[in-house]
Amino acid sequence: MKFLPENVSTYGGAIDSLGLLITVTVGACLLIAEVVLIAAAIVYRQREGKPASYIQGECWKQLKWIMIPVIIVVLLDCFIDAKTHTTWVLIKGGTPKADQTVRIVAQQYYYSFTLAGADGELDTADDITTINELHVPVDANVIFELEAKDMLHSLWVPALRLKQDALPGRTITGWFNATTPGEYEIACAELCGVGHSAMRATLLVHTTDSFDRWQAEELAPVTSAIEQNATGATP
């Protein structure tokens, strides 16, 4: 699977292994079915003096030839359902304790990201808002609140195995935890208008040190303003 983008999230592995499970089980069934189909079409070609058998497939003795494969399919289905359920609950069932909180607002045709900062509260003085760049520290549970301003959008980060539609009128909470520092693509996966193709952002996963440095740099003007305010207020 060299085409699959490298996974950099904690839960991406679960999705990948679910994909592998389905590929192996269902792929084997597919292969068998195709082989039987093609083989039957070749082996039972019309031949002189070899009439077709009169098989109606109405009694259990004959039906078992399709029912046994079907039961195998049912078992595989149950197996896939079980694994799907655990994976789904892990990812979308709830959020872990937040290390970072970020508000993501999607609109035509860009994303804006508001990082809550050290206090973990949005709409406070230490928020950092960036356009089309999401900065997060590595190995941190990032809880996002996804909103859309105008159209439907879909936050799509292939490397994180993360996709979530954003709808106007509601806030959708989700989470991810990136495991490898680096730069990754963020796209919009839901048709949102003429500029849909150009709607792209970057996810920058920092090491803890470089994230702190970046945060300090971004906050520098704000901090100095607060300090100035503080010094101005005290006579």
Partner 1 sequence: MQETIEQQPVANYHRHVNYIKIWAILLVLLIVSLIVGMIGYQFFAVWMIFTIAVVKALMVVAYYMHLLWEPKFLWLAVGFAVLCLFFLFLGVVPDILLVKLQLAH
Partner 2 sequence: MSTHHAAKPGFLGRYVFSTDHKVIGLQYLITGVLMAFIGGYLAYVFRMQLAFPGNSIPGFGELVPQQYNTFVTMHGTIMIFWVAMPVLLAGFGNLLIPLMVGTEDMAFPTLNMLSYWVFFLSTVVLLGSFFVPGSAFAGGWTAYPPLSADGYVGTPFWDGLGGHLWILAVALEFVAFLMGGINFLVTTINMRAPGMKWRRMPIILWMLVIAVLTFVFAVGPLIAGAVMLLLDRTLHTGFYNPAAGGDPILFQHLFWFFGHPEVYVLLLPSLGIICEIISVFSRKPLFGYRAILYSTIVAGVLSFVVWAHHQFIAGIDPRMSSFFSITTIMISIPFAIVIFACIATLWRGSIRLTTPMLFALGAIAEFLIGGVTGIYLGSSALDIYAHDTYFVVAHFHYTLIPVVFFGGLAGIYFWFPKFVGRTTNELLGKVHFWLTTISFNCAFLPLFILGIAGQHRRVFDYSAFPSLMAGELTMLRQIATYAVIVMLAAQILFVVNVVISFLRGPKAENNPWQANTLEWSVASPPPHGNFDPYPAVYRGAYEYSAPGRSEDWWPQDAP
Contacts to partner 1 by CB under 8 A: 147, 169-171, 173
Out of partner 1, partner 2, none, what residue 147 binds, judged by CB under 5 to 8 A for its kind, is partner 1
Q: Which of 100, 164, 177, 215 binds partner 2 (CB under 8 A)?
A: 164
Least gap, CB of 67 to partner 2 (angstroms): 8
By CB under 8 A, residue 168 contacts partner 2 = yes
By CB under 8 A, residue 131 contacts partner 2 = no
User: With CB under 8 A as the contact rule, which of the stretches 136-144, 185-193, 213-221, 223-231 interacts with partner 2?
Assistant: 185-193
Out of partner 1, partner 2, none, what residue 80 binds, judged by CB under 5 to 8 A for its kind, is partner 2
Ramachandran quadrant class, 139 (left: phi over 0; alpha: psi -120 to 50; beta: rest): left
- 105 vs 222, which CB is nearer to partner 1? 105
**What CA–CA distance (Å, rounded) separates 146 from 102?**
9
User: With CB under 8 A as the contact rule, which of the stretches 14-22, 96-104, 133-141, 220-228 interacts with partner 2?
Assistant: 14-22
Cα atoms in the Cβ-side hemisphere of radius 13 Å centred on 93: 8
Q: Which of 129, 197, 208, 223 binds partner 2 (CB under 8 A)?
A: 197
**What CA–CA distance (Å, rounded) separates 20 from 40?**
29
Least gap, CB of 209 to partner 2 (angstroms): 27
Task: Look at strands 153-157 and 110-115 and give their pairing.
Answer: unpaired
**What CA–CA distance (Å, rounded) separates 8 from 115?**
20
Out of partner 1, partner 2, none, what residue 79 binds, judged by CB under 5 to 8 A for its kind, is none
Largest pairwise CA distance in the chain: 113
Out of partner 2, partner 1, none, what residue 27 binds, judged by CB under 5 to 8 A for its kind, is partner 2
**What CA–CA distance (Å, rounded) separates 214 from 181?**
14
Query: Footprint of partner 2 on residues 46-105 (CB under 8 A)?
Result: 46-47, 50-58, 62-63, 65-67, 69-70, 73-74, 77, 80-81, 83-85, 87-89, 91-93
**What CA–CA distance (Å, rounded) separates 28 from 20?**
12
CB 136 within 8 A of CB 206: yes
CB 116 within 8 A of CB 122: yes
